[in-house]
Amino acid sequence: MDVSIIIINYRTPQLIINCLNSIYKYTPEVTFEVIVVDNDPKNGGGAIVREAYPNVQWIDMEFNAGFGIANNRGMSVAKGKYFLLLNADTLVTDNVIGRCFDRMNNRPDIMACGALQYYADGTPMPFYRSFNEFRRTFFILPPSGLVDKVINKLYPEPKYADPDQYDWLVGAFIFVRKEGFEQTGGFSNDFFMYGEDVEWSGRLGKLGKLCYFQDCTFIHLENDNPFRRTNISWINRFSTQMQVSNFLWIRKQYGIFQYLLLILHYLIMTPVVFAWKMLFNLKKDGNPFSELRTQHIYVRKTRVLLKYFWKTLFLKKGLFKIRPDENIDLLTASA
């Protein structure tokens, strides 16, 4: 078996069928198996997929385990030389799987590779190209040339001799050697959603290069889910679940000091974002309290981060999944 393709289902049967249609249409040159791991067997619509593709290997999870744990379950039974972790809301438009297979066969120095994401309209989807580029976005600082210069110096871009090499791979499409899973144990079981691909990439990168190839692309439809961010703004650029996972990743990969630095930064910025907005409101209409909704959302998200402070600080084992009453994005989506 050349490739084991692993897809997580969470109430997206038609998306999976569309994804599989594209795979079977454009992947003629490699042998592959498809493993679908269902995070919600009762409501996931699995029968629809199995009827359309009876050869798919189906695994029902006992609970909604999120992205990483479900993928680990799929990889644990996979038989391929390589594993392809693929989002349900993706489409391949050419033989990208075959190209990744050939590249990995010819490049033993590469542990895993990814493909560049495109929107459905054919435009490229931006992504963070390094750990430090991602880390810089965590800081809520006034935009200015001086601030950018300082942050870039503190968190510089890595320099690789290989132009295809990157720090981490986006979880929507990860083409990894079987040994990569066996030697790392796969994704950390602490992550529910978001951040798990970044953290795993850090460990995979110690075994070999992580690469993107410019001629390897796919379409990512970005299906809606209840943990996506809403009310996106300068100070609320991440969803609540995403930020809890991001801070967990920082603690795991960079240690206590970097984690505490971020927590302190968010606390210090609380009065700053209010003061800045109140001055702006005062100048605009004479009422300093007229528009503070975004600032209040920021405070509510920061409170959730603090709820996970001790658990993150001491890296207590367990799924870092926010509760419904902590999902500030969903609670304020229509407010």
- Integer CA distances (angstroms), 245 to 4, 129, 319, in order: 27, 18, 10
Write out residues in the chain with pLDDT < 50, as ranges: none
Does 191 map to a domain?
Answer: yes
Residue 226 in domain: no
**What's the pLDDT at 225?**
54
Distances (CA, A) of 94 to 24, 32, 211: 10, 16, 19
Length of the chain: 335
**Count of the separate structural domains present in the chain:** 2
Report residue 303: phi and psi, to 5°.
-60, -40
Q: pLDDT tens digits for 133-173?
A: 999 999 998 878 898 899 999 999 999 999 999 999 999 99
- Please give the Cα distance from 192 to 174 (Å, whole number): 18
* Same domain for 101 and 246: no
32 & 87 share domain: yes
Domain that holds residue 248: 240-331
The type of residue at 68 is G
The pLDDT of residue 144: 81
- Per-residue model confidence (pLDDT) at position 335: 52
pLDDT for res 233:
79
Instruction: Based on the fold, state whether residues 324 and 267 are members of the same structural domain.
Output: yes
CATH number reported for the structural domain that contains residue 117 in this entry: 3.90.550.10
Contacts of 186 (CB under 8 A, 6+ apart): 68, 71, 72, 75, 76, 200
pLDDT digits over 91-121, tens only? 999 999 999 999 999 999 999 999 999 999 9
Distance of CA 8 to the CA centre of its chain: 14
Give the residue from 160, 190, 220 where a domain finishes. 220
Helix (H) or strand (E) holding 8: strand 3-9
Do 244 and 212 lie in a common domain? no
